[in-house]
Amino acid sequence: MRLQRSLLPLLMAMGAQCALAQGMPTPTPTLNASPAPAAASAAAPALPYKLHTVTTPDGVKLHVQEWGNAAGPEIVFIHGFMQSYLSWRKQFDSDLAKTFRIVTYDMRGHGFSDKPQGTEYYTDSKRWADELKAVIEQTGMKRPVLVGWSYAGRVLGDYLMTYGDSGIAGIDFVDASTNGPLNAKAPAGAIAPGLVSPDEAVSIEATRAFLRACFSTQPTAAEFETMLGFNTMAPGYVRRAMSGRPAPYEAALKTVKVPVLVTHGIEDKAVLLDVGRYTAATVPGARLSQYPGVGHAPFWEDAARFNRELGAFVLAAQAH
């Protein structure tokens, strides 16, 4: 307030000079007057998506986005550990949106979704299954294809163990974590202790290193900055609670009857190709699509191929 009052005479003088220069009447000063707010600040900018606020059975509010053709075949994209819905930018900003109804979301503990305290919110398999089910039901999806990247392989496993596959049309496991022991020697695993460090400097540097390890073809500087930004939105207590959660999904994977695509970068350092091969061999009739020269994020590193294959897969799965 003191700063505003001290600037008021200067601002009034500048206004008077401008008025005189243009032949306009000089405004009369009003004591203690507050500057009028700019018109542009009166309203928030329009969102590029339809916003849904989904509430899970355990009370977690999720930030959910809907894109594309409202009448098209349905896809739900589920991001990975420390990530956000923005991981899927090259999908919802692509030609896929002309054909498909796309739903993305920040899962619990991430992005703009709630980040409740308590390890039980992140270690209980059924809570993850219920979260995905809530997204499907509260956005009005009827029979979507689920696309799960990295840690979301566990979320897909949780869902299959709890609800089976009767309410979905198909699944795309994208460099997805479905078997912990097979991934024990992944090079990115050496970074994991830093990701859960209580020291902020250590955590940030580990996050930078992890992001670099996710890509064979690195993102641009601007893209990397955005990714680092939303990765740091996942607090340390969330990271620690999610780490090392069991993955007892084999029995559930063997019962899947809907079409399944397994998409995997051959040069993945975070989830080894052996895990993708395991998923494809375990799910009856699953098809493995390998991406040479690509790391942990084929949907980003080779978006054109990924979008083409996913679009064809969704159309075939919906017709199955």
Q: Of 165, 148, 184, 154, nearest to 285 (Cα)?
A: 165
Contact, 82 vs 94, CB < 8 A?
A: no
Structure token digits, residue 212: 């670099």
Q: How far apart are CA 11 and CA 298, in angstroms?
A: 55
Helix (H/G/I), strand (E/B), else coil: 163? helix
To which H or E segment does residue 148 belong? strand 145-149
Q: How far is CA 178 from CA 227, 236, 252, 271, in A?
A: 24, 23, 11, 9
- Torsion, CA 195, CA 131, CA 184, CA 263, rounded to 10: -110
Angstrom distance (rounded) from CA 186 to CA 9: 65
CA angle 257, 90, 101 (to 5 degrees): 50
C-alpha closest to that of 276 among 132, 177, 197: 177
- pLDDT tens, position by position, for the chain (320 residues)? 333 333 333 333 334 333 333 333 333 333 333 344 444 455 778 999 999 999 999 999 999 999 999 999 999 999 999 999 999 999 999 999 999 999 999 999 999 999 999 999 999 999 999 999 999 999 999 999 999 999 999 999 999 999 999 999 999 999 999 999 999 999 999 999 999 999 999 999 999 999 999 999 999 999 999 999 999 999 999 999 999 888 999 999 999 999 999 999 999 999 999 999 999 999 999 999 999 999 999 999 999 999 999 999 999 999 98
Report CA 45 to chain centroid distance, whole Å: 21
Q: What is the longest distance spanned by two Cα atoms in the chain? A: 83
Q: Which two tokens stand for residue 260?
A: 């399944």
* String of DSSP letters for 91-133: HHTSTHHHH-EEEEEEPTTSTTS---SSTHHHH-HHHHHHHHH
Q: Considering the entire predicted model, what is its pTM?
A: 0.86
